[in-house]
Structure 1
Amino acid sequence: MFNFLRFPKILPMLAGAIALFSVTGIVPEVVRADSSLATGNYRIAQSSIEGLEGLGAIEGVEALQQVMEKMLKTLAETSYAQGETALEEQDFQQAMNHFNEAIERYSEYAEAYVGRGAARAQLGDQSGAVSDLQTAASLFQKQGNTEAYQQIQQVLQGR
């Protein structure tokens, strides 16, 4: 079971989500999403949230999606930090595992693709590293981070 107490940033978001669940009356789908999130089934949780739209709770669904995205991003940040630590310790396989986890939790996390690319390069997977850097560059560009985008482009051109 997921221990929310280990991640204090999540508690205020969770409190807001619970209030939202009560107000909108969409508890069954929310419980399914919450239990899926707690067991690590992020895609099922997301599909449960998206399924709420059919229940006529559009405003509630949008707010819930924002809460869900924040929660997943917070969890992804934790995995990313663990990946960074593993990179520093030169445990590249473990770093890659943590970055994979971060990406699974929040697929728009450009920095996690950079980290995974670095781990892949150290493990000899050059094509995987290039692919991750290209994905990161695309995400940075989409997010308006032109400095990070340009830095990655320079790395890709210098390979």
Structure 2
Amino acid sequence: MKHFYRAIGILGFVTILGGISPAIRAESAPILIVQNSAEDLFNSALAKSEAGDIQGAIADYTEAIRLNPNYAKAYNKRGIIHGRNLKDYPAAKADFDRAIEINPNYGDAYYNRARVREFLEDKDGAIADYHKAAELYQKDGNTNDYQDAIKHLEMLQE
């Protein structure tokens, strides 16, 4: 009988009509707290970006960065959205600057910052970044990206 009362206390009081009393149900219902990791938010942002939910992607990248302030990939991806989708080149550059500050060997961040510097008419900065990106791509054996960075570098130097 003791277990019966414990079960009623946990499950709530069943009324004559067969429902659970709302007051008791509210007290006894478990509260589910969902916490996303920075990586979960990063992946969510990628999916949102691909689906065209630009503001949702930015929100998720921003939250991932809040959870992990040294998440260079999240800064880089958010910078891409700021530049490509929103044409907010100063915000994009700030994100690429931070990604490079976190990881000075991040070729994609140098390449992306070079693209933004072109839009900002900072030719010398773009040349320096394409050069650094090419150097890092070559070091990593990333032939396609190396050749792309060299192509952009040569176009700027003409």
TM-score, normalised to structure 1, is 0.55
What is the match of residue 76 of structure 2? 80
What stretches of structure 1 move > 3 A for 4+ residues in a row? Answer: none
1:125 is matched by which residue type in structure 2? Answer: D
Residues 1-159 of structure 1 mapped to structure 2, 5 A cutoff: 5-8=36-39, 72=70, 75-88=71-84, 89-159=86-156
Gapped runs of 5+ residues in structure 2? 1-34, 41-66
How far off its partner does 1:124 sit?
1.2
Asked if the contact 2:135–2:146 (Cα under 8 Å) also holds between the matched residues in 1, the reply is: yes
Aligned length: 96
Q: Which has the higher helix share?
A: 1
CA distance in 1, matches of 2:68, 2:150: 37
SS in 1 for 2:127: helix
Cα distance change, pair 143–90 in 1 and its aligned pair in 2 (3 A): same
How far off its partner does 1:145 sit?
0.5
CA distance in 1, matches of 2:75, 2:68: 16
TM-score, normalised to structure 2, is 0.55
How far off its partner does 1:158 sit?
2.2
Question: Which structure carries more relative contact order (alpha carbon 8 Å, separation 6+)?
Answer: 1
2:108 is matched by which residue type in structure 1? Answer: E
1:7 is matched by which residue type in structure 2? Answer: A
1:83 is matched by which residue type in structure 2? Answer: G
Asked if the contact 2:38–2:68 (Cα under 8 Å) also holds between the matched residues in 1, the reply is: no
Gapped runs of 5+ residues in structure 1? 10-37, 41-71
How far off its partner does 1:121 sit?
1.2
1:92 is matched by which residue type in structure 2? Answer: Y
Cα distance change, pair 148–78 in 1 and its aligned pair in 2 (3 A): same
